[in-house]
Structure 1
Amino acid sequence: MRLDFYEAAAARLAEQGVRTVFRERLADNAYCADYVPAPPFEVIVKNLATGSTTIKYPGLFEEGHRFDPPVVKFDFRVDPEDQPIGEDYLRALGVDTDAYRRVALETNTALRSWLAPLDLWDFCLVIGDGPDGEPVINSEISPDCMRLRDPEGNPLDKDLFRQGATPERIVAVWTDLVHRITG
């Protein structure tokens, strides 16, 4: 189901001019992708204050605060706590943080439009530089890397697992989600 979602998301992003490594599906659980080295950081887009935002920065934003414009942050992936990494460090490594931010925000706009009326709270991406030096999304895009809610506020994402949902419940919710987005 994650691959079903990713395949549909990659096609939608391609229509919007956002590049991903996804090329083609090979089987139920396999796909072909371009090789783009994965950097040791991820790019996170927050449309709503939840999760790490309210835990790491208590008192700054109430749970559920809507960000307008969305917040984009970079986290160091090799740290077990996914600590934020300053953009100056990334620029010192030669990362074009402005270009990565642009891709993350374009992805946010495309996903929010595509998934409406579902509410995309946040998501994370790994973005690398393609052979031409331009940013390419190098990670799966699925309910496992986002917070997504139905119109009633019910989770359709990784929070199901975190909240202790049974495997059967997760499969049922994700199956319904895939049917919604693929028609």
Structure 2
Amino acid sequence: MQPSALPSDQELQAIREQREPDIQGRSKRLWLLPDGLCMVEMIPSLRSFTYSRDELVEETGPLRLDFYERAAARLEKAGIRTAFVRRLGPVSYLAEYHPAPPFEVIVKNRAVGSTLVKYPGLFEEYEPLPRPVVKFDYRVDPEDQPIGEDYLRALDLPVDEFRRLALGVNASLVEWLDSVQVWDFCVIFGLDGGQPVLISEISPDCMRLRHADGSSLDKDLFRRGASAEEITTAWRRLLDELA
């Protein structure tokens, strides 16, 4: 996607002030723009269905975007196309707009989360998996559900390419975050003329990361009842240690 001319920051600010968002979810507001673009504003929400916790933690919005901006640059260098175009402010950015499908792609390097809940006894808790596992979840309230790949193939979706790209994201993140352990993460791919584009953010809000000392650097802190200050301190620590 090569728009003829990107809108100025002043034009985008005017749009945000004059229009309600075209799309609003739990974690983002989107304003649709010409030339296949959108303006995204992060909502500093943290949610855990398993632990019945849903809160706003204002400081997490800028930290999520700090991480995502760096991650998008690393992935682009690795040849993985992302929707990120440029940052506009502390919690807003310009992006390509591609409709989000009702499923996400999850990569797991350790036996954590849904692996233990859905398949008890299959692996030991926190056990490193022999190789990264890619799975697809159908995005539905109140809790996402695993979906068989053949359902996606029945919709003529490029499942094998989604898998290849998800593993590429994993390899890039593991290399970049070499000082921490990448346990798992989820991503969402949109399509542009049949070609996958990574349209979701990459941030501690959608990953499990562990420091070398064993401490959590992600949303597991929130899931386990940590305070807003504890969460933001850990996320700042992660950013401070990144190259």
TM-score per shorter chain, which class? Answer: over 0.9
Runs of 4+ aligned structure 1 residues displaced above 2 Å come to: none
Unaligned runs of 5+ in 1: none
1:149 equivalent in structure 2 = 210
Query: 112, 136, 142: which one pairs with 1:74?
Result: 136
Deviation at 1:79, TM superposition (A): 4.2
1:39 and 2:101 aligned: yes
2:216 counterpart of 1:167: no
SS in 2 for 1:31: strand
Work out the CA distance in 1 between the residues paired with 2:226 and 2:91: 23
Q: Greater helix percent: which structure?
A: 1
Larger Rg computed on CA atoms: 2
Task: Indicate whether 1:49 and 2:108 are aligned.
Answer: no
- Kindly provide the amino acid, as one letter, of the partner of residue 143 in structure 1: P
Aligned partner of 2:85: which letter?
R
For residue 134 of structure 1, report the CA deviation from its aligned partner.
1.1
What is the rounded CA distance, in whole Å, between the counterparts of 1:77 and 1:66 in structure 2? Answer: 26
- Alignment identity in percent? 60
Q: More strand per residue: 1 or 2?
A: 2
Aligned to 2:238: 177
Letter in 1 for 2:162: Y
Q: How many residues align?
A: 181
* C-alpha separation in 1, matches of 2:225 and 2:96: 35
Bigger mean CA deviation after superposition, 172-181 or 138-147: 172-181
Aligned to 2:164: 102
Offset, 1:153: 1.4
Partners in 1 of 2:169 and 2:129 — Cα distance?
16
Partner of 1:124: 186
Q: Which gives a bigger RCO, structure 1 or 2 (Cα 8 Å, sep 6+)?
A: 1
Output the TM-score relative to the length of structure 2.
0.73
Deviation at 1:103, TM superposition (A): 0.6
Name the CA distance, whole Å, in 1 between partners of 2:151 and 2:142.
19
